[in-house]
Structure 1
């Protein structure tokens, strides 16, 4: 386990390397409101987030790796690794990666931003899944290309208060 000093060092180290991690506004809003009853999937929000991120451009299937366990024992903390495998240069680098849970009430689980100084575009996070579903990762390159991949995950129990 990490103590507070170690976590602070990791966050500061990531910021110094040209990467940042931010919680989506919808997640911050949900944290302030108590949950009342089960929350249903939000396919409209999922579709809207996908379209906004890609800007309506078709996404290419190669160049992005997503590593998620096929069976998630703890749906409250599912490990996710995302990595852009395309060459990173000063002319073209990954600006942003998002991770979406297709059937979560709030589909945007993670947003990662990078600069050319990062030298790579990869991250490992833990996300919460409400049920068995597809997890999607999208990456936007400086050149405007959008990369996309997805993987199915089966959860052992509900992780979003359902």
Structure 2
């Protein structure tokens, strides 16, 4: 930090010095989460931006229940490269015929490596006539987007697409 940013701190006191001093004394340093993440290794995301694989698996299992996932019948449209990781367009559409006896009850969209993997949950009725949704999701890093659709009959349709992110959209 420079005196221009904080006149109360000496010019030579930087974030690195603060972190080193806190580590030496065992103190807990109150820096913003983004500063802590930046101070950590450049390859790993830490703190509140860290992936939550336990929550991801739990959400998938809850949605699937005892159903066997089917890879046909759900179309997922996501760009392979996210220009703006704060608002990545995602479109999910059930391509199976929608009838009075068989319709999509629910679609969820998951970002596998986000701190909160469930990005969207949409519910439908037989009167909807179609099952499709377009949303924008925020991505914390390069990862796979998953979409799952539960049909009235109990079938669960799944689709996924890898998305490359240039910079983090979470914590910006």
Deviation, structure 1 residue 156: 1.4
RMSD of aligned Cα (Å): 1.2
Aligned with residue 36 of structure 1, among 33, 37, 40: 33
Aligned with residue 119 of structure 1, among 97, 113, 129: 129
Deviation, structure 1 residue 81: 0.5
Q: Distance in 1 between matches of 2:68 and 2:60?
A: 11
- TM-score, with structure 2 as normaliser: 0.72
Q: Distance in 1 between matches of 2:108 and 2:66?
A: 16
Map residues 2-151 of structure 1 onto 2, 5 A cutoff: 36-37=33-34, 38=47, 39-151=49-161
Q: Distance in 1 between matches of 2:96 and 2:67?
A: 18
Ranges in structure 1 where 5+ consecutive residues have no aligned partner:
1-34
SS in 2 for 1:41: coil
**Deviation digits for residues 106-147 of structure 1, max 9, x if unmatched?**
000000100011100001110000000000000000000000
Ranges in structure 2 where 5+ consecutive residues have no aligned partner:
1-31, 35-46
**Deviation digits for residues 83-114 of structure 1, max 9, x if unmatched?**
00000001110000000000000000000100
Task: Give the ranges of 4+ consecutive aligned residues of structure 1 lying more than 2 Å apart after TM superposition.
Answer: 35-38
- TM-score, with structure 1 as normaliser: 0.76
Q: Distance in 2 between matches of 1:148 and 1:64?
A: 6
Q: Distance in 2 between matches of 1:151 and 1:84?
A: 16
Aligned residues: 128
